Structure 1
Amino acid sequence: MAPTFAEATAITALDSHTYSSNLNTEWCVGSVPHGGVVTSVFLRVATTHFRTTLATQNQPHTVSLHLEFLRRTQEGPATLVVRDVKLGRQTSTIHVVLSQDGRDEVVGYLTHSNIDTETGLSLKTPWSLEPPPPPSPANFAELLTGGNDPNWIEQTDKPFPKFRKISQRVRTVLPRKGQVISGLIDEWLRLDSGERFTNESVGLVCDHFPSVLEDLWRKAEGNKPFPPFWYPTVVLNLDIKKVLPPEGVEWLFVRVRTKSVKNGRMDLEVVISDEAGEVVALSNHVALVVGSERNLAARRNDQAKI
């Protein structure tokens, strides 16, 4: 039985600045732990660190995250070492390194604050999603029981399920009539286990969506089959705008869009919002587009660069 999301992203404190995790095969793409799962592990480390070692800062919330994926991770034990970079009155920043078998594989900076006590200028902006997505589901409970919603339907034919094992851990609801334009994905997400999304889960949410390239591929290549590409993350940034309730939320909306796919590299712009339409987080990625064989290839010289 696959571990729950909480189990797959669980961490253990080894000392005041060192934590361990165990990256599980059921939450992988091929042989590589999903980047969103790794991101959530970093968020859990930061949250735990500010709740324990840095408790006197009273800054429980991650407000920004920047990760550099230096090498592909692998299923199994991982160690995360924290360095306190700046401890401030309003925000504090830590540096975290994830390593496996002596290799530094992912490095990041995470900034914390206390969103509940933040003060300062707040203004409404005229921003909205363009083009607009289909109207939100009228009844979320019905989406997973055959669903009669005129605008949304659950994705049941997930591509390459044996390669993208993580896709079986998340329920995905897509526009019934297809995406509004090419190179863009709108979706509603729910964890298959029934667990609720918290701010630490936003790491997974910002990196879990169907390929934004499939429709672009078909327009460029006609009937040529869409290959099982692997999209390793090079850089991931996350800007968290809202604290989700302590009990979490069942559903989150995600829009992801690419502006340029060139020479095997693409950008991804991600907007996450809740059922009320309020922005929860924004994310931007730099990702590669490579053959799936790169994911499964043996490591060379203990470096295993992407």
Structure 2
Amino acid sequence: MAPSFAEATAVRAIDSHTYAVDLNTEWCVGSVPHGGVITSVFLRVAATHFSTTLAAQNQPHTISLHIEFLRRTQEGAATLTVRDVKLGRQTSTIQVSLSQEGREEVVGYLTRSNIDTESGLSLKTQWTLQPAPRPPPVDFAMLAGGEDPNWIEETDKPFPKFRKVSHRVRNFLPRAGQVMPGVVDQWLCFESGEPFTDESIGFVSDHFPSVIGGLWRTERKDKPPAFWFPTAVLNLDIKKTLPPEGIDWLFTRVRPKSIKNGRMDLEVVILDMAGEVVALSHHVVLVVGAERNLAARRTSTKI
């Protein structure tokens, strides 16, 4: 039985600045733990570190995250080491590095604050999702049962044996189709029924149907092959916290601006059930053959 998301991203303290996690195969793409899982593990390490070692800072919320995926991770044990980079009254920043078998594989910086006590200038920006039109309305009471007139669950997921993590989430797409090729709108929830929490935002920022499919079919008129999309860089700007008890649904809109020479950007907008912006994320992503995911690990420092 697959562990829940909370179980799959649980961290335990080894000492004041070192934490451990076990990366489970059911939350992998091929042999590599999903990038969103790793991002959420970093968020959990920060939450644990600031509720224990740095509790006196009273900064319970991550407001920004920057992660560099240096090398492929793998399922199994990993160690995360924290360095307190800057401790301040309003914000504090830590560096977190994830290592396996002596290899430093992922590094990141996370900035913490207290969103509940923030004060200062607030203005209405008149921002809306682009391109128009906005996604259709949703009835959450009908959505999970497949009865919402505007949204339908994606059940025929591509390459499900390769993308094992796709079984851990239910995602619902517009019945009338996406607003345009290259844009992916979805509502999603955990297959386990557990709610999304602040730490889940990392996973949501990196889990969505491929934007490649619609663009490939539009340009090349056939079915795309099996690709792997390893994230090289992920940035996350968190605008609001989720309720302590969590929420059942989150919305994402994903769109690239350029796909060229096997590299693409991704912009991810995350909204809550009230339509308010929860977080913004930007990625640098490589587009490579799926065989790269399963290839034997090299002894050099290359990906």
Partner residue, 1:268: 266
Pairs within 5 Å for 1:74-85: 74-85=74-85
CA contact (8 A) 1:133 1:186 kept: no
Partner residue, 2:133: 132
How many Å separate the matches in 2 of 1:145 and 1:126? 34
How many Å separate the matches in 1 of 2:70 and 2:96? 13
CA contact (8 A) 1:268 1:286 kept: yes
Partner residue, 1:185: 184
CA contact (8 A) 1:30 1:163 kept: yes
Partner residue, 1:245: 243
How many Å separate the matches in 2 of 1:289 and 1:257? 15
Partner residue, 1:112: 112
How many Å separate the matches in 2 of 1:96 and 1:289? 26
How many Å separate the matches in 1 of 2:137 and 2:62? 28
Deviations 1:157-190 (A, max 9, x none): 1111000000000000000011001111000010
Partner residue, 1:157: 156
Q: Structure 2: which amino acid aligns with 1:254?
A: T
State the 1:36 CA deviation. Answer: 0.1
1:19 partnered with 2:50: no
1:291 partnered with 2:289: yes
Q: Structure 2: which amino acid aligns with 1:183?
A: G
Pairs within 5 Å for 1:190-209: 190-209=189-208
State the 1:144 CA deviation. Answer: 2.2
How many Å separate the matches in 2 of 1:59 and 1:290? 39
Percent of matched pairs sharing the same residue:
74
How many Å separate the matches in 2 of 1:99 and 1:56? 28
SS at match of 1:157: coil
State the 1:111 CA deviation. Answer: 0.2
Q: Structure 1: which amino acid aligns with 2:285?
A: A
SS at match of 1:219: helix
SS at match of 1:37: helix
SS at match of 2:225: coil
How many Å separate the matches in 1 of 2:137 and 2:221? 32
CA contact (8 A) 2:136 2:174 kept: no
SS at match of 1:116: helix
How many Å separate the matches in 1 of 2:137 and 2:176? 14
How many Å separate the matches in 2 of 1:228 and 1:189? 23
Which of 225, 233, 236 is the equivalent residue of 1:235? 233
SS at match of 2:228: coil
State the 1:302 CA deviation. Answer: 6.0
4+ residue stretches of structure 1 with deviation over 6 A?
none
CA contact (8 A) 2:181 2:218 kept: no
How many Å separate the matches in 2 of 1:242 and 1:132? 25
Pairs within 5 Å for 1:87-126: 87-126=87-126
SS at match of 2:218: helix
State the 1:210 CA deviation. Answer: 0.4
How many Å separate the matches in 1 of 2:278 and 2:146? 28
Q: Aligned residue pairs: how many?
A: 302
State the 1:150 CA deviation. Answer: 2.2
How many Å separate the matches in 2 of 1:227 and 1:183? 17
Deviations 1:9-42 (A, max 9, x none): 0000000000000000000000000000000000
Q: Structure 1: which amino acid aligns with 2:180?
A: I
State the 1:141 CA deviation. Answer: 2.9
Partner residue, 2:144: 144
SS at match of 2:2: coil
How many Å separate the matches in 1 of 2:241 and 2:297? 40
How many Å separate the matches in 1 of 2:167 and 2:134? 25
SS at match of 1:22: strand
Q: TM-score normalised to the size of structure 2?
A: 0.98
